[in-house]
A = this chain, B = another copy of it.
C-alpha cells in the first residue's frame, strides 16, 4: 500500500474508477445533478479501454440500453439521481424479472420531485427497495467515503454478477461531490466476480434454469445459446407462462436466490461497538458524522458506538440484532423524514430503545447534532 499513487478523487469519479476496476465496459446515462460527473467520467475513460459510452435520450432509455448491453455480455452501469431513478423504475423491474446483472448509481439529492438538485438527502432509501411494482428482492449498497465508494461499487458489480440481478448503489450529494486523497486497489487486489456462463450444449440450455443456488448460467448474445428474454412471467426456458405451477417457482427463485444467501450480501462497519451501550445506526455521509460524534463522545467517557450499514437491502435484520445485542438504545440518524428507522424498529427486539434523528432541510447532519441527540438518550 505504501508505494501506491495517492490521488485526489471525487465521489462520482470514484464510481467510475471502481466500476472500471470491476470490469465496466458499457455506460448509458442521462445527465442529472448531482450524479453527472459519473457520466462525464465514463465518457472520458471508457473509450480509452475500448469500452462504450452513450448518452441516451432519457433515463428510461439509459437503463434499457444498459440491460441490452448486459444481456449482450458486457458489464454495464448507469448513474442518476432521484428523478432519473424514478424514471428507471419500470425497466429496473424488467431487470429484476429477467435477472439481468447491472449497477445503478443513485447520487441522492433532495426530493420529492425536482426538489433540491444541489442539496444532500437520503430520501430515496425506501425507493431503492420498493420503487418498482411487483415482487422482487432488491440489493442496495451505500458507501460513505471516497475509498469505500471505489470498493462498494466493485462489490455492487460482484453482487450483480453473482446473483444475476440489478444492484443499486446509493450515494448522496455530499459524498458524490466531495474529494478525498485515496490510493486505488492494484489489479488483482480485489476479487472480481464474473457471471457464470453455461457449459451445457445449446440444446440442453435453459435460460432460467433452476440450479442449486437458484442462479441460472447466463450466456451472451451471439454465443450460440439462443433464448428469449422477456419481462412477462416465464418458465425456466424463458417462455411466457400463465400457469400457477410455473409462476410460483419463478417468483420463489427471484426472491430466494437472494434472501437465502443474504449473509454473502450483508456488510456493516462497526466502530467501538464492543462495549457500546448506545449505538448510532446510519449510512452514507451521515455515517461519517456518526463516527465523528462517537469519537467525540467516547473521549468524554461515554460508551457509544457506531454502526454503518454498507448493505442497505436486503436489510440485515439478524446481523443488526446481533451487533446491537448489548445496546440499551440506538439512534438512527438519516437525512430524510424517517425511512430506514422503520426497518430498525422492525428488526430490533422491543427492549432496545430506538431513537430517531432526522434532517431534511438540504444540509447534512453535523457531529454536534448527533452528540446533542445523545443528551436525550444517554
Contacts and interface: CB of A to CB of B under 8 A. Distances in A.
A254 B117 CA distance: 19
A85 interface: yes
A93 B360 CA distance: 16
Given A90-B86, A251-B337, A230 B135 contact: no
B119 A134 contact: no
Interface in A324-374: 336-337, 339, 342, 345-346, 350, 360-363
A145 to B, nearest CB: 24
Nearest to A87: B90
A136 B114 contact: no
B112 A133 contact: yes
Contacts of A276: none
A180 interface: no
Chain A interface helix/strand/loop/mixed: mixed
Given A94-B112, A115-B231, A130-B131, 18 more contacts: A82-B93, A83-B93, A83-B133, A96-B112, A111-B133, A112-B135, A112-B136, A113-B134, A113-B232, A114-B232, A123-B133, A123-B135, A126-B129, A131-B133, A135-B336, A135-B360, A233-B362, A245-B361
Interface of A: 60, 82-83, 85-87, 89-90, 93-94, 96-98, 108, 110-119, 121, 123-124, 126-127, 129-136, 230-233, 242, 244-245, 247-248, 251, 254-255, 336-337, 339, 342, 345-346, 350, 360-363
